[in-house]
Structure 1
């Protein structure tokens, strides 16, 4: 497990670049506990009262949304041994309605019968940044995609690349953000700390991750959560190198270009560092599996 932790910590020096505006349209602002637009299900979020405390610092991204790799330590927050989402209840809601099952599965890229295993393979965490995503509402029997910014503190289920895939407050499937053509307008419920130039987009980790390294803003402690577990197997760890602790709430940014999910590939884990937290250094090149081969030379950076 120590080796696995090292592999994830190494991801602190991960791809961060700017998703440039390509156009406009509507982006819906969704507060952490709000049901939001066209929910699939009732909320399964476990509200621990940490909505405002989870925000992590992020540098402004002039002219674009800052993109951060999903394995970055401190990208997600939470409380040790506590789940931010009731996965089993989410399964019950979705599998109890065939039309919703089909619509959810279509948006998630799976078969309806795979929903229980798919959800159990995700990890409940909380966003620590205002995050741009493609949300999918449920309307007229179909999943309807729209661009959204989810507030820091939002409970989500993340996959084994660290990408948020389900919003627990509404059961909606999530995908990477896409560009918007023309001028951009925001709709929905805003919050006092929202700023358009500090929103982040999560890029899939370069390799499949086995644990997510989480920061608890209430206690100042770090722990690792095995992917696909509900908090019952959490393990405290020393502060990782480059891990982000606290800071001003994230603002949001201009429009990102398309972000495509990557296919899993593997690499050997490295030993965990023992140095105290420090800002990550940028590697020269970013393979960018989430952005397709055309973007393999993107810039790099660290967690928000």
Structure 2
């Protein structure tokens, strides 16, 4: 009886084993090194292509993440390169931005926002419809604001449609390749926005982009189209109020008047005309000298909230008053006094060029700004 084979079945020379593919010609192990050059070249090309894509998709103003230190100017009616949605607002006239009373303004302060009485600057239901029609965009929108996709309609209905009264710094977000992108921007005065109950702009209505407060920058460079009257010294940042805002005191530039709008009023149906807010005055000086300050001196108090483009009224010898914020909470007086302490004289900055020293253009917490 023959013995059991002790080794594997023999394979014909150049053939394949049972069920195995036939081996083709190829380099022998330990063969010449130049035979691996094509494979190395293919890997190098793939890496180079990946680097190019990263550069392209992170260009500022192109819907990608802006380069560090760049701030993109977004004109009032521009949708940008990669908007989330079509506009949910009518076009607004472009006007020269006024000089702000301070660089950092509380969202509860009177006159931070403007609008037209009994007219909404944004169509909230249209914005909801745009996002609902595209679940991917709706999810990306929700992720920026830290809410769930199903919460977007209720979130938007809880915001207040207003317009920026000043050129304002924000963190902007576009939509590209199925996800949100991020860049720092300046929104032109007059831009229609949806504002939350702490006075922070959260949606830009010309493009549906979600907004967040600006982030700290070092030395920055402004890019993008400019507009009449633009000056880095007029850029403001809106700080969230400490407590919830129930009523906004809004300036109506078309009627040169003031009105109160309840937070969350989508249509402005409950707007009510109100008198101009009182203003803060420094104690009158005992000196009879009324001449202009000598060189090197600056005003002791910035211009308080006034209709955009209006000069500061003359000082009053009466005791100081506190501006009304329109909030039904006690935050208004503390927010106003805080903004006054951080303000600077706008009159000493109006002649500044778009490329100036850090001290003249501090945008808290930025250190300097230059234009391109």
User: Distance in 1 between the 2:229 and 2:209 partners?
Assistant: 24
User: Distance in 1 between the 2:241 and 2:228 partners?
Assistant: 31
Q: 1:52 is paired with a residue of what secondary structure? A: coil
**Which of 242, 245, 256 pairs up with 1:220?**
256
Residue matched to 2:73:
29
Residue matched to 1:92:
129
Q: Per-residue deviation at 1:246?
A: 2.2
**Which of 55, 80, 94 pairs up with 2:117?**
80
Q: 2:156 is paired with a residue of what secondary structure? A: helix
Unaligned runs of 5+ in 2: 1-66, 280-304, 311-326, 347-372
Residue matched to 2:64:
none
TM-score, normalized by length of structure 1?
Answer: 0.71
Residue matched to 1:194:
230
Contact 1:122 1:227 in 2 (8 A): yes
* 1:56 lines up with 2:72 in the alignment: no
Residue matched to 2:309:
247
How many residues are paired up? Answer: 237
User: Distance in 2 between the 1:188 and 1:119 partners?
Assistant: 29
Please tell me the root mean square deviation across aligned C-alpha atoms, in Å. 2.9
Cα distance change of structure 1 residues 158 and 39 upon mapping to structure 2, 3 Å threshold: same
TM-score, normalized by length of structure 2?
Answer: 0.59
Q: Per-residue deviation at 1:37?
A: 3.4
Give runs of aligned pairs for residues 1-304 of structure 1, distance below 5 A.
25-47=69-91, 49-52=92-95, 55-58=97-100, 66-181=103-218, 183-229=219-265, 230-242=267-279, 243-247=305-309, 269=329, 283=337, 299-300=341-342
Cα distance change of structure 1 residues 91 and 192 upon mapping to structure 2, 3 Å threshold: same
User: Distance in 2 between the 1:268 and 1:88 partners?
Assistant: 27
Residue matched to 2:353:
none
